[in-house]
Structure 1
């Protein structure tokens, strides 16, 4: 059976174990430093104490007078014992320059020689030292006693046993230990709170599991074919490579100001919204994500640019097909009429009836095929002409219309021509005056510029309405209906901006929208 490692497996457990280890080391080291500091402070305080006592007694005039009187032991022994008892030091010894003791804690030692260094004091200097005397190792200070002529006539030595010093700093150990235990307990309480938070945030996962999760997350973000953006309260949290490409975002961190306008305001729950940027048609979905008290938003973006162009061509062909189907039905009715007229013996009238409308239609086909070299645009114009005829709208392609026969010389591609002309014609047929419905189309390209102009009998748009229509997006939601005005004009504006052209609207002989594209 495999033995379980005592080391925690989760990230929270490992982080807490490391914190406990560090805290324990810090508390133990701090306690050791506190003990060392207490001992050092005790030694320094003891040294200062004995130095002060020795200096005070040596500088006292009564001490010099007692030595000079020859009654030093009799006068000074009671004084030194009183001072010693009040200051709780080990000994106070007053001696002659030849080391003979006048006073001592042990009266039996009076008259004997002082053990320790006195040479600096004989030279007039007060000093301290650690020395083992008759009472044991001690910290002592020695100060000279001067007569009126500043001659050294005696010495004062005061000392504290090191054993007493040890007892002093050892008495602080319970306090230091209590402080250390209290600090450790408070730290453990904080660590426990951190552990709970880490477990909640990491869901108890191990470090290798988090690493694998991050690697998978990063790989998915960079490999998905859709643009992905995560927005939170602080701004843009995540942007993948495809989103940077579709929105032309810079590398590195992205600020909310660098996002397109339709992503700067919150709109969670949006589904399949179509937005037009300067060079793309994008389908956007937005979803709200709740994680605890925080709320974020996931935005997915799909590129519909190429699909939109293909749909434009397909729409033009569908319009032409529907028109041909309607004309076939109408032709059947006309054929029955012609056959009946022949049976009635009115052959000449039947021929005239059959060829009149066919001649007009063929003239339009021949003129467009000759003047406009792009087949997709010819199909669009023919289809729109038939569609307008069915709706009772007079659609005219001006004699000025002309495109190069070589389609490679066109300033716009076939898809772009269909997008621009088709959307402008659709808008014009929707906007023209029902009382006098007419639409006029001009498509002309020379060596310097391409001109596409569509006029209608409608009321037109002022500058503010025109600018808003170019920016407005299009929604595929059921409630949005089939209205495509804003979306169509936005697509036209996109093509124009892509080729550094100009799009304008005015009211001259009608509502006129003009697209001008310069030579590449």
Structure 2
């Protein structure tokens, strides 16, 4: 049965159910009307035969013949009653004397004979009107027995008036035929209406069943919530049609279906300048968002828009982490190549028996390695961070700036989530970039990096000091605003990314001047942070 139901299309099920419902309704109504019609017909028949019986019992001729019959006369009412019966349109009028001898009957052979059922006339002979439904000479009959009284009120006979069951059935068929025809017409009309409704539902539901719609909706919601990108769909009135969990996390607010999206987010995400089908970038609370807008169209009718939102700051963090790893690999490759060259030099000096010069060359190599690589890898047990520092050291050399790692730096092997690692690398990378940029305008530019963790390795302190040009007072007031830069257009995202990352890691950011010039930036972050709070910035 379950497999049979699954094979039936939804619109067929609706058609069958609606047709059965309409059929049951029409059938019940027809039965009730037929019952009322039968009841009304029965009462009408009772009234008709009773009226004929009363009028017949009052006739003087009937009373006279019955009186004479009771006295032994053989006179009957056959001819007289036949004319009366044709006039009253009843099946039979039978007149009985007190001995229940028939004085009239539709069948002349029965005249003068006793009534077929001696018990039926007895109530009438006692002065009572009596109805009976039994099989008589003419077959099943419905009849009434009415007493005939003389002028003194004495019961002298009985008048029996009736209609055969066959005629009653004919009358019932004539009366119920319109009901049957009306019911059939109603059923046909209802079936066509049910067919139209089922086809309309099929059109509205895109040919799917409610179960398929429920499964698809649930499956789509699970898929949407598993996406890292935020999704917000609105109708033409700005009401939310759908929003996934990533969008709620991104904007830190609940986005229930049916709620009107705030005017700020509508202007940010759904204005033509915010994004197109090819993508566009917007700024939201120190974050870079890539917004892609598509139109929602159903059956060539525009119903709204959907925005796909990607957090570019996460992508930037992944790029930073990848960049640090690439720098680390590149540095190792360069060191390997350089080490091979140095081995060849040492080999040549040994073959020439220049032992003092070979020893001096080895000591020089050891000192250089310790200064450039050994110290970093010995004190910082964080491969991605080491790679980032080595890469920035290479950039610093190219910019003729010295990048030093403070002797006090110490970072043990720390367990942290991937998101936290990305944010910390982003902070260090952008701080070093800003410091290197500030030192390009001075001679002997030097940038010093200090990394230290607390004893429980729960918090990390990052200190970047440079002897560059410093930060002007008017710049400090605006440097934390997203997009503000003194380097031209399409810049000014570094400090915004730093402050956003510090906030996410529940940290603090302090900016100080160095004597005689330069800047010192100190950042303290929680390596186990999961919440957010505003950062403290001191100038």
Alignment TM class, shorter chain as reference? 0.5 to 0.7
Match of 1:300 in 2: 308
Counterpart selection for 2:137 from 117, 134, 137: 134
Give the SS at the match of 1:499: coil
Distance 2:38 2:103 in 1: 27
Match of 1:262 in 2: 265
1:16·1:191 contact (CA, 8 Å) conserved in 2?
no
Q: Give 1:135 shift.
A: 2.1
The answer on 1:499 being equivalent to 2:506 is yes
The answer on 1:384 being equivalent to 2:434 is yes
2:229·2:308 contact (CA, 8 Å) conserved in 1?
yes
Match of 2:293 in 1: 286
Distance 2:397 2:124 in 1: 131
Q: 1:227 to 1:76 in 2, by over 3 A?
A: farther
Distance 1:124 1:494 in 2: 113
Match of 1:88 in 2: 89
1:53·1:158 contact (CA, 8 Å) conserved in 2?
no
* Alignment of structure 1 residues 28-427 onto 2, 5 Å: 40-41=35-36, 43-56=38-51, 63=58, 84-85=85-86, 88-96=89-97, 98-101=99-102, 103-106=104-107, 109-116=110-117, 117-121=120-124, 126-144=129-147, 153-171=156-174, 175=178, 178-179=181-182, 182-183=185-186, 185-187=188-190, 189-190=192-193, 193-194=196-197, 197=200, 220-221=223-224, 224-232=227-235, 235-239=239-243, 254-256=257-259, 262=265, 266-267=270-271, 269=276, 271-274=279-282, 276=284, 283-292=290-299, 293=301, 295-309=303-317, 325-327=398-400, 369=406, 384-385=434-435, 387-388=437-438, 390=440, 405-407=452-454
Q: Give 1:439 shift.
A: 2.5
The answer on 1:439 being equivalent to 2:500 is no
Distance 1:385 1:30 in 2: 86
Match of 2:474 in 1: 457
Distance 1:286 1:297 in 2: 7
Q: 1:96 to 1:488 in 2, by over 3 A?
A: farther
1:46·1:139 contact (CA, 8 Å) conserved in 2?
no
Q: 1:483 to 1:111 in 2, by over 3 A?
A: farther
2:66·2:156 contact (CA, 8 Å) conserved in 1?
no
Render the CA deviation track for 1:327-358: whole Å, top value 9, x for unaligned. 36xxxxxxxxxxxxxxxxxxxxxxxxxxxxxx
Distance 1:192 1:198 in 2: 10
Distance 1:189 1:139 in 2: 44
Query: Which segment is superposed worse, 212-221 or 162-171?
Result: 212-221
Q: Give 1:208 shift.
A: 11
Q: Give 1:482 shift.
A: 1.0
2:27·2:183 contact (CA, 8 Å) conserved in 1?
no
Q: 1:206 to 1:403 in 2, by over 3 A?
A: closer
1:249·1:259 contact (CA, 8 Å) conserved in 2?
no
Q: 1:185 to 1:147 in 2, by over 3 A?
A: same
Q: 1:247 to 1:158 in 2, by over 3 A?
A: farther
Distance 2:97 2:507 in 1: 113
Q: 1:87 to 1:494 in 2, by over 3 A?
A: farther
- Which segments of 5 or more consecutive residues in structure 1 lack a partner in the other structure? 1-6, 329-360, 430-436, 441-455, 475-479, 504-513
Q: Give 1:143 shift.
A: 4.2
1:274·1:281 contact (CA, 8 Å) conserved in 2?
yes
Render the CA deviation track for 1:9-54: whole Å, top value 9, x for unaligned. 997x734544565566667767776776676455423421232134
Render the CA deviation track for 1:54-84: whole Å, top value 9, x for unaligned. 4445666972876665567999989976775
Distance 1:80 1:320 in 2: 137
Give the SS at the match of 2:400: helix
Q: 1:160 to 1:126 in 2, by over 3 A?
A: same
Distance 1:491 1:121 in 2: 116
Give the SS at the match of 1:142: strand
Q: Give 1:188 shift.
A: 5.2
Match of 1:509 in 2: none
Render the CA deviation track for 1:382-420: whole Å, top value 9, x for unaligned. 65355346579xx9x9xxxx9995456899757xx79xx
Distance 2:139 2:500 in 1: 104
Distance 1:233 1:111 in 2: 97
Query: Which segment is superposed worse, 148-157 or 200-209?
Result: 200-209
Distance 2:44 2:23 in 1: 31
Q: Give 1:301 shift.
A: 3.8
Distance 1:72 1:46 in 2: 35
Give the SS at the match of 1:52: helix
- Which segments of 5 or more consecutive residues in structure 2 lack a partner in the other structure? 69-74, 325-387, 412-423, 511-522, 524-533
1:282·1:301 contact (CA, 8 Å) conserved in 2?
yes
Distance 1:23 1:176 in 2: 21
Distance 1:239 1:132 in 2: 81
